[in-house]
Chain A
Amino acid sequence: MTKKITLLTLIFLTFYACSPKLEESEELVEVIKIDGLKEILTTKSDDIQVINFWATWCAPCIKELPYFEELNAKRSDELDVTLISLDFVDEVEKKVIPFVEKRELKSRIVLLDEIDYNSWIDTVDPSWSGAIPATLIVNSTTGQRKFLEKELEEGELEEILKEFIN
């Protein structure tokens, strides 16, 4: 009995300790290299990973960003949304951060600073031709994954996610 309580307390404390940490790291756009990308792609989590590749210059990407934002706002208990910008790193201050501020994006935003796409693109998905928008959905528990190299229609993401969530 006491063991159970200790365990519960421990779990509670872990969650408690973790939650303020998330709020602290309020860096608007985190710049990552290929190692950071691999970390995101191999995240072990009970949550479904929804990873979207976009850029501020890509009109169809911008059009679908609200769908991801909505998921992030409404279903953060079962999903982790990561928006990976492929903008150029020297334009973080000038373009990406102002964009994120103006749109008040709340999802996790990272910028992948790896210009030689052919060196990393296959690690995301071998079928990826290299165009954006592109979206990867991963369930790290079951190993299920789906890669979409296309612009998503409204509601399409929810439909696809039904395959992932029981």
Chain B
Amino acid sequence: MYIKSLIFSMFLLLAGATSEKYALEVGDTAMDFELKNVDGKMLSLKSNKDAKGYILVFTCNTCPYSQMYEDRLIALHEKYADKGYPVFAVQPNSPEKSPGDSYPKMQERAKEKGFPFPYVMDETQEVTSAYGATNTPHVYVLNKEGNDFKIAYIGAIDNNSRNASAATRHYVQEAIDGLIGGADVETTKTKAIGCTIKWAN
């Protein structure tokens, strides 16, 4: 009996170890979650009943790349929220490792920038780990199919972090325009350039 349960727990441990490495891919169902927004409310993907999808972005206060994309995220939200594809921002960093990304600091930043979209804290980092996000900002474009959200695109927002107007590819925009127009999303995966996510020990 003892050995059986030992084997079973070892199996669980192994399963845990492998699932950590597993990341969601384009075409997979996006897992839902419940995380605390800067306004104190718990939010999930299902909270917004009108959403046909999301621009789900793992981003933070402190990464210079995240900062360079803040205004672009606001612009994307303003352009696509009414069309059913709002921005949903998740802060993935451990505040222990990155004090500038604590919940109070997130509230401050959201207020300063006037984020028109949710900015939730992934305190346990389980959501970030399950999605397989590695960098900030790291975007997952989600599209509602039936009751689920499917991942349509993973990667960068565009191809010029420094200068929005000099970007020649607007990956997120292209993906959503494709979804809205009923066409295939041509570029489904790029590399999300930015800062590494700061994992707790």
Contacts and interface: CB of A to CB of B under 8 A. Distances in A.
Nearest to A134: B196
Interface string B102-136: 00000000000000000000000000000000110
A60 B196 contact: yes
Nearest to A150: B196
A22 interface: no
A125 B155 CA distance: 17
A117 B191 contact: yes
Interface residues of B, number: 20
A123 to B, nearest CB: 12
A149 B195 CA distance: 11
B173 interface: no
B29 interface: no
Contact of B160 (A116, A132, A149): A116
Nearest to B136: A131
A130 B192 contact: yes
Interface string A73-101: 00000000000000010000000000000
A129 B135 contact: yes
B159 A115 contact: yes
B158 to A, nearest CB: 9
B64 interface: yes
A34 interface: no
Contacts of B156: 117-118, 130
Nearest to B68: A88
B161 interface: yes
Interface string B171-198: 0000000000000000000111111100
Given A60-B196, A128-B191, A118 B134 contact: no
Contact of A117 (B64, B134, B193, B196): B193
A163 B117 CA distance: 49
Nearest to A91: B162
A115 B134 CA distance: 19
Contacts of A132: 195-196
Contact of B191 (A88, A115, A129): A129
Q: Which of B159, B163, B191 has the most CB of A within 10 A?
A: B191
Given A57-B64, A129-B135, A130-B135, A115 B160 contact: yes
B193 A130 contact: yes
Contact of A88 (B134, B162, B193): B162
A7 to B, nearest CB: 49
B162 A118 contact: no
Nearest to B155: A118
21 contacts: A58-B195, A60-B196, A88-B162, A115-B159, A115-B161, A115-B162, A116-B160, A117-B156, A117-B159, A118-B155, A118-B190, A118-B191, A129-B134, A129-B192, A130-B192, A130-B193, A130-B194, A131-B194, A131-B195, A132-B196, A151-B196
Given A57-B64, A116-B168, A118-B190, 8 more contacts: A115-B159, A116-B160, A116-B169, A117-B159, A129-B135, A131-B134, A131-B194, A132-B195
